[in-house]
Structure formats: structure tokens, C-alpha cells
Structure 1
Amino acid sequence: MNTSTYITYSLADGVATLTLNRPEVYNSFNREMALALQQALKEVQQNAQVRAVLLTGAGKAFCAGQDLAEATAEGAMEISQIVDEHYNPLILLLRQLEKPVVAAVNGVAAGAGANLALACDVVVAKESASFIQAFSKIGLIPDSGGTFMLPRLIGLQRASALMLLGDKVPAKEAQQMGMIYRAIPDEAFEGEVASLVQRLSQMPTKGLAYTKALLNSSFDLSLEEQLQQESRYQNRAGQTADFREGVQAFVEKRSPRFRGE
């Protein structure tokens, strides 16, 4: 895989680990890192060896959002161009990726960094980590899908308050309000994340991808339309090798050996 020094990549046992790697600036995004992450996501989509993706940050932070030094430098891109070329494609790639993506939030996730995490399929965080909708503190609006995802996760009233006030939300509180899946004690974090993503990598990948597609469509469709979509995707799932293996394993009273096919 061709990546920049700002995105590190490793592949082991079906898990592709993508690490945001600008720790000296809390993994804030510059153009090179944003485009490199886009390319990495495209490549893991095409790599049949990848069964699950882990997204995390180097150092003490997950991601502090946009690198404001770059955004405000002389001759810098318009903010709307940064959103259109950096963040919007990233959010769409994450939601359309036909493999489960786990965000392992190892420290602060602020602004676009918070919303990048929330666009992933499963979000876990160190108990010492926090989430901040920091946009209002500099006169901007939440981007990177934040106004779409956060109200659906925690409700309009809470999302509105967090976005307007810019309050810091500790990981435990984020779990309690349904913003993330789990807050994990710092000392157990790496081991539990590894176990979680490895578990996903051994599951029926196509079935997980169909589930993800249905969750995406549920935001827009009526109940009747969503039921029709469920029927279509269930038909596809029923034709996979993993379905046949799952049934055979059930009959034989053994653990299934899914291949992602």
C-alpha cells in the first residue's frame, strides 16, 4: 500500500490497522494526511485479505480535527474546499466500506476528528479519552457528517447542546448517552480493542457489509421500503458461502469457520 508518513498501515490476521500519524499536532489533518487516508480506505476495500479495519491515532490523541495552521496560512484553500475535498470523501468512504471499521479512540477526538470516529461502525474509547464538538469555539459549524450522525446517536436536544456549547464529553459519559459503543479502562484498552477487531475479522464479512448497507439506508427509507431492502439483502446473504458454513456448523454443533465469501 502506498501511504504517506502521516498514515501508517499494517495488515495481520485479516485486520488492517490505519493509524493517524501526526502526534506532534495531535493527529490534526493536513491535506496530505486526509488524501492519504482516503487512498488507504480505497485500497483496503479492494484487498480481499482485509476482513476488518481498525482506525486509531498515534501518541496521546486520536485526532484534533483540522490543522488550523494549514487552513489559515497565506494562500490556503477555502474552508469549503477543505470540507469538500478532505472530509466529505472520508466520511462517505467509511460508510460505504464493505468491511466493519472500528474506531479506537485513544485520546481526545475533537471537531472533524470526533465526527470521523462517529462515522465508523463501532467506536470504543479509552476512559481517559474525550469527544469535543469544537467548531463553535472558532465560529464554524460542525462538518464531517456531525450534524447527520450525532443527532441520530444521542437525540436532537443533546446533539444541539454539545454542538452549540462545545462541551467536552468524557468517554464514560459518551457511552452512557449512546454516542459510542464502549469506554474501556486505559490499561485494558489495547488488548480489548485487539480482541474486538479480531472477532469481527473472523465473522461473515459479506453479511456484515449487507448489515452496514441496511443501516445506511434506514436513515432515508420508509418502513415499507426498508423491509423490502431487508428482503433483498437477506436473499444475497443466503447465497453466500458463509451462510452455508454457518448452517452446517450449527447442525454439526461446532464453531463456524467463516471465510468472508
Structure 2
Amino acid sequence: MNEVIVVSAILYARYPSLAGRAVLVTGGATGIGAAMVAEFARQGAKVAFFDIEDEQARLLIDSLAAEVDSPPLYFHCDLTDIGALQSAVKEAIKALGTVDVLVNNAANDQRHSIDEVTPEYWDSSMAVNLRPHFFCIQAVLPAMKAAGRGSIINMSSISWMIPSTGVPVYIAAKAAIVGLTRTLAHELGPSGIRVNAVLPGAIATEKQKQQVYTPEYKAEIMASQALKRDILPEDVARLVLFLAADDSSAITNQSYVIDGGWV
């Protein structure tokens, strides 16, 4: 039976299999990514994360220093530069010893109209929202195959299921992530590597609250969700913990929606 940890007087699961596991999170300095970095570290995992937000990364590490035995390791990495990404993965593996869990989280949901999309914008959006998923997986595969196990969690979105409007290129990338997840689950399953996707809904990150959480949008969210409360980054992180842990060892090729019942 799992142990429990107490956070704000609410009981949450502790996963013994995550203790000492090497976890890599992309886009881990803020938002959902930061919540995942923190929650993995609290589980006793060895965590590395990539981002370009140096100050936010430092603040996150400092906030956890007195709380966890192994503070997360930060690597400045522009994921649009595949050479830099591959080098950063090698450095992370060198520091951690391996990678047992990969969370492909980094994304940019910048609003855009159909008319303003140029070939250059299309390529730059895919370079953030889709391409790094594949090449980060490719880079960690030797370590995972050598260990005979691994859990890869690709962050998609319910935005392509609703579907959202005003972000067509982002939507295309998020839908493609589910397809990539399904095919790689079958390709990598024989090596003991699991691949799943997580599809968040409207998550109340600081960025979202600052940029899009107008009273009108908040009313739309509450009208659409079955649960009439904000869905927080920590809610998403706890689902990712389960998919990373051995408790989900028979689960792969799946897409988990976490949206308060929107879709």
C-alpha cells in the first residue's frame, strides 16, 4: 500500500518507485512544468529540467532547497535548437546517471489567426510545440533501452478536442502529439518503455491568469466544466506522477484528459 504525504491537510499518494528515479522535464521553470518538477522532487526523485527562464528556474530551485533531499538540476536549453537539446540531454544523463522518466511539457500557446500564419510562423510554432517531443524522446532512448524500462509522458491538450479557435497551428501540434504517443507506445513497448499522453484543460497557471483569464473566459470555463473550480498545475502534476510510477506499469498508449469534465 502506498504511503501518503500531507499537503495543506489533504492526503496525496507517495510512490515508493519514484524515489531515486531520474526524471527529465522540459519547460520546467514555470506553470505546469514547475509543479511537476516540485512534485517529483518531493517524491524523492532526482529531477533535471530544461527551460530558458533562468530567473524563474532559480526561484523554483531555491523554493525547494529546504524541502527536498535532492534539489532539481536546471539546464538552460532552447528546445528549438535540436543540437542544443541533444547536448542538454547528454548533460542531464551524465548528471543523473540515466533518465527513467521523460515529461515532454514545453509549449507556447500564442494566439494567432489563420491569415497571419506564414510558413516561417508555422515552422517556429512546430519547433516549440511538436518537434522537441520527438527529438527529446530519441535522445533518451539509449538510456531507457539499456535499463529495459522507462516512462514517457507527452503533454497534449484538450484544445484540439473542443476544439479551441484562434490557435490553429498550436492545435495541429497538440493533436499530432497524441498520434506520436500512440505509435511510439507500440514501437517502444518491446523495450519496456511506456508512452502516454496527458491532455489538460483550462489550467489556472500564473501565465494563463495574467494573459487570458478574463471574467468572461472564467465564466466560459465554469459553464463548460462539470467541476466548478479552478484546475491547478498541481492537479496535472499528480496525474503525471502516477503515470511515471510503477503503479501504472501496465498502462501505455493512453491519453488522459484532466479538465474538470469539460470534454
| TM-score, structure 2 normalization | 0.31
| TM-score, structure 1 normalization | 0.32
Structure with larger Rg: 1
Structure possessing the higher relative contact order (Cα contacts under 8 Å, 6 or more residues apart):
2
